[in-house]
Amino acid sequence: MTRSRCGLLPLGLLVLGSACGGNQGERPVTVAKESAEAEVTRISTVWISTEVEKSLLSPPSPISVRAQTRTSRLELEAGAGHEELSIDEQFDLRTGGTVRCRTRFEHTVNLRWGRKSGEAALEITRPALAAARSCDGAPPESTLSEPERRALFVLGSDQLTAVEPALDERIYRPAAE
């Protein structure tokens, strides 16, 4: 009996090896990794971010309260990006009264794709901006200027969240196309 068990052992290993996907002359399937750009644009090519900010200003400023809503619409195309930025402001004046302003910018942004901690990442660089405010009264300052802005966004679930610089709170969500 010992002899028959020893003869079955090699035969059993041979059958087990071929049943578990042993080399049958087929090459293993190579899984292609999706690029960061393809991963983001598969979700959407148009993204929107809205930031709301309110601040109190101290004298001697003629403004007591400043409220601002910034809406950024980012359109991603093959290797390029376009941003429409609307800035709505409300200034409550110390003399009593309110001035509302709207400033719009349309410009190209530079995009750089990659990965951060394994997740799809997108670095967006916006040029320096300057434009005249369009207001319903005399604006405290006639021109709105913005310095160049660079930020790194990481795709998490279905949103692009700013991770650098640390104080950037923008979150882009897919636009209803």
Residue 57, C-beta contacts closer than 8 angstroms, at least 6 positions apart: 63, 64, 65, 66
* pLDDT at residue 10, as a whole number: 46
* pLDDT at residue 21, as a whole number: 54
Contact in structure between 160 and 47 (CB atoms under 8 Å):
yes
Q: Are β-strands 129-132 and 159-164 bridged in parallel, bridged antiparallel, or unpaired?
A: unpaired
Contact in structure between 98 and 88 (CB atoms under 8 Å):
no
Residue 39, C-beta contacts closer than 8 angstroms, at least 6 positions apart: 120, 155
Residue with tokens 């087929």: 26
* pLDDT at residue 23, as a whole number: 59
CA distances from 162 to 71, 127, 134, 156 (A): 15, 18, 29, 11
Residue 7, C-beta contacts closer than 8 angstroms, at least 6 positions apart: none
Measured CA to CA, the distance from residue 138 to residue 136 in angstroms comes to 7
Single pTM value for the model:
0.77
Q: Give 10-residue mean pLDDT values along the chain (177 residues).
A: 48 46 67 86 96 94 94 91 97 93 96 95 96 91 93 96 94 89
pLDDT tens per residue, range 83-135: 999 999 999 999 889 999 999 999 999 999 999 999 999 999 999 999 999 99
Label residue 28 exposed, middle or buried (CB < 10 Å: 0-12, 13-18, 19+). exposed
Instruction: Give the angle subtended at the CA of 176 by the CAs of 101 and 168, to the nearest 5°.
Output: 55
Measured CA to CA, the distance from residue 84 to residue 127 in angstroms comes to 13
